[in-house]
Amino acid sequence: MSRKTIEKKSRTEQSIQRRRFLKGATGAVAATAAASSFPAPAISQSLLQWRLVTTWPKNFPGLGTGANLLGDLITKGSGGRLSVKVYGAGEIVPAFEALDAVSSGTVEMGHGAPYYWKGKIAAAQFLASVPFGMTAQEVNAWYQWGNGQKLADKIYKQMGAKFFPSGNTGVQMGGWFNKKMNSLDDYKGLKMRIPGLGGEVVKAAGGNVVNLPGGEIAPALQSGALDATEWVGPYNDLAFGLYKSAKYYYFPGWHEPATVLDNFINLKAWEKLPGDLKSVVQTANAAVNQMVLSEFTARNNAALQTLIGKHKVNLLKFPDNVLNGLGQLTGEVMNDIASKDSLSREVMDDYLTFRQGALAWSSRAEGTYLPARLLPFKYASPSKKG
């Protein structure tokens, strides 16, 4: 449905409601409905128009398009009773002011990632992605069937917002490097762009951690201002052309195994929403949460094949001794944060408890299934075309 359609429809429906009210045509029935304790039927709801600001550039692949999808599903699913218009970073407010704009009620909704708000509440970073932490499937289980949603609501409430998980990147890549990473010592003095908890770990390994917005990464790598950078995965990294300025593309993304995106909603606007529209928003977020992950999974496949086949990118796996050292430092960094902040401690404790159970299961499920699939048996192949 186009913007114009919605606006026109809105005017039409408002006319209907005004006219009905003025003429009193439905007076008796309307009074019955109002006197009951049932939720107001759709017919009596006024149309709402909300604005959604994002931390992503407009239509940014996977992330900005995820926010577009959220707006679209809410608008369509509510039959236009709640229409959401999406704005890219900088259109109403700069990227990292999105949450402030929502808290203050300047706009009703935002879309980003929880670790962007760690400057406001340190515990928020445990909601986004934890180095050596849970995968997308596991973290979704924590949000939906563990205490994840409850803890996230507690954190976002302090920032004047309602929280929903609203997309996931899946396991990211480890990043682009201009030298081989053979031991933990190779991080000493390394100028690397890496945000969040992963950045703290690289700092602990002696790295010189730089934070740059997406658009400045490629030139900095080109000029030598950066020795290394991580971004997302094949899909986004190919789009940025990072392969042109780095020798090695390392995996796996130990620092961001499942980055959760967030939908944050002005708390008062959320609380005033009728029950059926609350359900539309909640369901749309659960759908987007999966559809964004599906997009990354599908497009990372395709982009990886382009990076390898066309651009001859040199893919390398981090050696186990490097991964083991980074894992050890992650534990120290996390304990250090938790020792200074009781809310971080609370979230981290719950996350770690759920992670222990998740690992016990995944080591029997995905953990042994994925290698079984790679055994040397001759499997069926697509038939030759033509």
Shorter beta-carbon distance to a copy of itself: residue 19 or 150: 19
**To the nearest whole angstrom, how small is the minimum distance from the Cβ of residue 295 to a copy of itself?**
6
* Interface pick for a copy of itself out of 234, 260, 265, 273 (rule CB under 8 A): 234
Q: Does 182 sit near a copy of itself (CB under 8 A)?
A: no
By CB under 8 A, name the one of 3, 41, 59, 311 that touches a copy of itself. Answer: 41
Contact pattern from residue 88 through residue 127 relative to a copy of itself, giving x for each residue in contact according to CB under 8 A and a dash for the rest: ----------------------------------------
- b/e for 154-173, b at 16 or more Cβ within 10 A? bbbeebbbbbbbbbbbbbbb
**Minimum distance between the CB of residue 162 and a copy of itself, rounded to whole angstroms?**
17
Binding status of residue 79 toward a copy of itself by CB under 8 A: yes
- DSSP string across 73-136: HHHHHTTTSEEEEEE-TTTSS-GGGHHHHHHTTSSSEEEE-GGGGTTT-GGGHHHH--TT---H
Tell me the DSSP string of 201-265.
HHHHTT-EEE---GGGHHHHHHHTS-SEE--S-HHHHHHHTGGGS-SEEEE--TT-SSPEEEEEE
Q: How far is the CB of 91 from a copy of itself (least distance, A)?
A: 26
Closer Cβ to a copy of itself, 104 or 182, answer by number: 182
CA 10/CA 119 separation, integer angstroms: 40
Token pair 């987007």 is found at 288
Side-chain-facing half-sphere of 60: CA atoms under 13 Å:
20
Q: Give the footprint of a copy of itself on residues 1-40 (CB under 8 A).
A: 1, 5, 8-9, 12-13, 15-16, 19-20, 23, 25-26, 29-30, 32-33, 36, 38-39
One-letter amino acid identity for 329? L
Which residues inside 259-318 make contact with a copy of itself, applying CB under 8 A?
A: 274-277, 279-280, 283-284, 286-287, 289-291, 293-295, 297-302, 304-305, 308, 315, 317-318
Decide: is 171 part of the binding site for a copy of itself (CB under 8 A).
Answer: yes
CB of 358 to a copy of itself, least distance (A): 6
